[in-house]
Structure formats: structure tokens, C-alpha cells
Amino acid sequence: MKLSVLSLVLLLLTQQRPSVPRGQIEGTVLHVGSTEPVSGAIVTVIRVNGATGEAIRTAAALSGNFTTGGINAPLPQAPSPRPTGAAAAPQPITPVTTGRDGKFLVPDLDEGTYRILVTIDGFVRQEYGQRTMSGSGTTLTLARGEVLKDLVVHMTRAGNVSGRINDDKGQPASAYCSSL
């Protein structure tokens, strides 16, 4: 009797569950105003609340290991209290890096709503669908097993200024000069 119960338990444990279809997001990162690819860009997909657009804290965030994918990225809102027995927080999505052709692929996504953030040194931080510097990007809703293809994110080079500022006598101007 014990052997048959043990055999049944082992059989149930070794049976594979039917796999849930997973979605993915594919796209390309380009220089703004051209078709030149941006290679080496970090593409971070962040799961968000479909109603508010706010980032959903992942299991890593709840344990203190949350990274936002960029220096200026807003931190997600604190999670609302959960009733006992509620589902666990989702696992974080591993960022991907664009290839030489500027292409990226983020696999194994659950159905839900997401934002895409792209960062790379020398360029302005950009979200997919972001229209203004201070605005936020477009949210993408992914159905179970859906593949979103051909997304394009245009990156703007970050600017810098160098040189000297002289006063009207040709002398270096003071950093504290009030006439500037």
C-alpha cells in the first residue's frame, strides 16, 4: 500500500504541467532622424499597472534588489497591502542589450501591461512612445503568448558644451560673474 501511494505521488510530481504560452517583445533602437542602429543599448521592460501606468514592484524590489534601468527613472510606488493568500509578486524581467544591428528581443513575458525603457551612455534616456523629454512612454498590453514585433525606439544623443567664457576684456570670466 505504501509503495503504491509513493508511486502515485512520484508520478504526479514528475508529470509536466502544460506550458503556458509566453509572450515576447521585439524591436530596434535607432539614432533619431536616421536608420542608423544603436548597438549596446540596455532595454529594460517594466511591468506596470494597466490602470495607472505605475511600475509594479517585483519580488526583487520587495527584497531590496530593485533597479530601475536608469539614473533618473522613477521608483515604483509602494505596493498596496495584500490580502492573505494573494499571489506572489512577479519576478523581475532581465534587461537585454541591443545587438550590432540595434535589434532586441525580450522573451518569456506573462500577459500584462509593460513599459520599455532604453538607456546607453552618450544618449538621452528614452521610453518607447515618449514624445517629450519630461513625458512618459506608451504602455504596451501583451496578451498570453502574444509577440509584439517591429517596435522602434529613437535615441537622441546627449549634448555637452566645452570651451572658455571670456569677459569683455578678453579675460577668463569668473564662474560667479553676475553679468552672464
For residue 71, the model assigns a pLDDT of 41
Nearest by Cα to 29 from 108, 163, 125? 125
Tell whether the model's pLDDT for residue 176 goes beyond 60.
no
User: For the chain, which domains are there?
Assistant: 19-42+49-155 (2.60.40.10)
For residue 70, the model assigns a pLDDT of 42
Take residue 142 and report the three cell numbers written for it.
501583451
Question: Mean pLDDT, the chain, as a whole number?
Answer: 79
CA–CA gap between residue 104 and residue 151 (Å, rounded)? 10
φ/ψ of 8, rounded to 5, equals -65, -45
CA–CA gap between residue 116 and residue 99 (Å, rounded)? 17
pLDDT band (50, 70, 90) for residue 50: confident
What is the tens place of the pLDDT at every residue in 125-151? 999 999 988 888 999 999 999 999 999
What is the tens place of the pLDDT at every residue in 62-112? 444 444 444 444 444 444 444 444 556 677 899 999 999 999 999 999 999
pTM given for the model: 0.66
